[in-house]
Chains A and B, each alone.
Chain A
């Protein structure tokens, strides 16, 4: 409860402040000196070519990979003290879906952080987990083993689990990769709903054509930060060229999407 008060009274403090983050694997830098500030709750897309370090950036922020340098604060305090405010949707391939849990159990895992050591999820947590399942539209699948779901349904399980965390800021690693159009629509609607509820959602995204339609801010990343800010200001052909190099196919697609977006507004 305390966290709720803090987030609402500290409007001047940025939601997320990433300072000077550098990550290296085997003495080879993967992320170079990234500074990133997100001031108000919104939908943020992180884009960049393959191997640009998008997932690594998220994982470094979340403390999952060691940083060579840098610090991260969430609502003005070091990340470690603010874990309860943070939700996470990892890449779907990162877990073994044959693991013996059903959908409801998997979503219940989202409540474990709030429960703390030794306490078991009870009726209250189950009701909340079902509510989260309902929000992603798969309430009817709660008894299924997670391996029996389609890719899109598995992605929704991960989203429901993140919702169950009751976080203020969510990090999602390619939640729309490899899902069907229907699921993508559901996910996007959900993200927008979360943003409208005052949450910040930071999404690693692969599809440049939908950036302008989906996100408020965009982060262009290719090892170093190329640019970040409101989509209209930052998502320019010039910046895209800096991020992706001369691969014009992608650029033209994205430019086309931008123009379509502008026309519709």
Chain B
């Protein structure tokens, strides 16, 4: 790797890490779009700084970006607070107006100033990593380390303010100031990222790593660490692509790399990932189908002679609006775990084990039904008709009460073995 590529590499990785870190709080605080507006609103600042000075100076342009970026944010909150315009509309207005002004200013500069001094200014729109110099890397690195230090020091304070700012306020934390500090860090990350990534793509560098990291963890500090790492990887790999292919701007390259990371997270993350969710949804449906079938089988058995364990499928179909095929596949699933066995002439038999399971399903269903009847106002979120969640979701006295009532009504499944709850019939 040449000296320049090393510098660029270091610069974009640090930038990605910094953006990933503060982006977590932006996303969790529902401020993701504010970061986008900030980036767009920074463009006129860059141009104004150039117009005032007449030559390119990175610190001056970053300062300009910071000033108009913050002005944009102030406009958004003013619009939201003092008019009836909602936040999304306010963001849309500010974002496009400031960006439009920036593009117009850029044109003015292009038309009026000599070629040499304005070079590279247009890269602020899409980003160009080759413009990163050693001094920039120090700046970006310093910002990343600064953000990291602030977040490590004020982790607890940020956590409580972002999660529940009112509670934090009652505890005496200066919620507004902490919020402002977060906002300033977001603004800072956006501004130092502008030359490399460009105003159009900068928001993605804030949002994508945080959103991707959220899929993998339920803990804030893990999310922060992952997001920083993912941001760094995005920056590094994106830069590599951008430098390999002539004319490929760095911003889009970095964002596309990020989107691959995001897609992988979205699909494959355990628990929160799409595939895991589909899988558990499928498992859930099967479990529910199994319990409904068992419940029906118990009802059928209850109505017949207790010794009889063999039934015609038609008997079941009369009690439940299933098609023959639906019943057949439901029974097929039960026969695989030894609850029923098929017999000739459209009949099937329940095994002892099957009867046990059916009784448990029926108990669960009836208990939940009774619970719902007695607590109709406030309990719909609790009852899920799963017999295994009864013990987990209801207090023991309540279960005993429900059992007692069912017994009084003579509807408590009687063949339940006292010893054998939930062990065999999963």
Residues of A within 8 A of B (CB): 59, 62-64, 83-84, 86-88, 90, 94-96, 99-102, 105-106, 109, 112-113, 115, 117-118, 120-121, 145, 150-152, 161, 165, 171, 178-182, 184, 186
Contacts and interface: CB of A to CB of B under 8 A. Distances in A.
A99 B219 contact: no
Contacts of B219: 100-102, 105
Contact of A150 (B153, B169, B382): B382
Given A100-B214, A101-B219, A180-B378, A86 B28 contact: no
Interface string B142-169: 0000000000011111011011101111
Given A100-B218, A180-B375, A117 B170 contact: no
Contacts of A100: 28, 214, 217-220, 222-223
Contacts of B30: 96
Given A63-B169, A83-B171, A83-B172, A95 B381 contact: no
Contact of B170 (A64, A145, A179, A180): A64
Given A63-B169, A165-B171, A182-B395, A101 B379 contact: no
B74 interface: no
Given A178-B381, A180-B379, A181-B375, A101 B220 contact: yes
Contacts of A182: 394-395, 398
Label chain A's interface by main secondary structure. Answer: mixed
Nearest to B374: A181
B379 A181 contact: yes
Contact of B159 (A101, A102, A115): A101
A150 B393 contact: yes
A94 B375 CA distance: 25
Given A62-B169, A94-B164, 7 more contacts: A90-B166, A95-B163, A99-B220, A100-B222, A101-B163, A121-B156, A151-B381
A120 B214 CA distance: 23
A163 to B, nearest CB: 13
Contacts of A121: 156
A178 B169 contact: no
Q: Which 9 pairs from chain A and chain B are nearest by CB?
A: A113-B171, A145-B218, A83-B172, A88-B170, A180-B379, A181-B375, A95-B164, A100-B220, A109-B160
B163 A99 contact: yes
A185 B79 CA distance: 45
Contacts of B222: 100
Given A94-B166, A100-B214, A182-B394, A150 B156 contact: no
A35 B159 CA distance: 36
A152 B398 CA distance: 15
Contacts of B159: 101, 105, 109
Contact of B218 (A102, A112, A150, A186): A102
B164 A90 contact: yes
Given A90-B164, A102-B218, A118-B153, A64 B169 contact: yes
A109 B173 CA distance: 12
Contacts of B217: 100
A67 B323 CA distance: 65
Contacts, number: 101
A238 to B, nearest CB: 28
B225 to A, nearest CB: 12
Interface residues of B, number: 37
B222 to A, nearest CB: 8
A115 B155 CA distance: 13
B375 A99 contact: no
Given A100-B218, A180-B378, A180-B379, A120 B156 contact: yes
User: Which of B164, B217, B219, B375 has the most A CB atoms < 10 Å from its CB?
Assistant: B164
A40 to B, nearest CB: 23
Contacts of B379: 180-181
Contacts of A83: 170-172
B266 to A, nearest CB: 16
Contacts of A109: 159-160, 163-164, 167
Interface in B361-390: 374-375, 378-379, 381-382
Contacts of B220: 99-101, 105
A86 B222 CA distance: 32
A56 to B, nearest CB: 12
A229 B398 CA distance: 35
B151 to A, nearest CB: 13
6 contacts: A88-B167, A100-B28, A113-B172, A145-B218, A150-B382, A178-B378
Nearest to A59: B166
Nearest to B383: A180
User: Which of B167, B220, B222 has the most A CB atoms < 10 Å from its CB?
Assistant: B167
Nearest to A84: B172
Contacts of B160: 109, 112
A105 B156 CA distance: 10
Contacts of B374: 181
B156 A64 contact: no
A141 to B, nearest CB: 10
User: Which of B156, B219, B374 has the most A CB atoms < 10 Å from its CB?
Assistant: B156
A16 to B, nearest CB: 14
A138 B167 CA distance: 21
Nearest to A95: B164
A172 to B, nearest CB: 12
A206 B191 CA distance: 49
Contact of B378 (A86, A101, A184): A184
A150 B426 CA distance: 23
Nearest to B381: A151
Contacts of A96: 28, 30, 163
Contacts of B155: 120
A99 B155 CA distance: 15
A201 B395 CA distance: 25
Contacts of A152: 381-382
A134 to B, nearest CB: 15
A117 B171 contact: no
Contacts of A161: 167
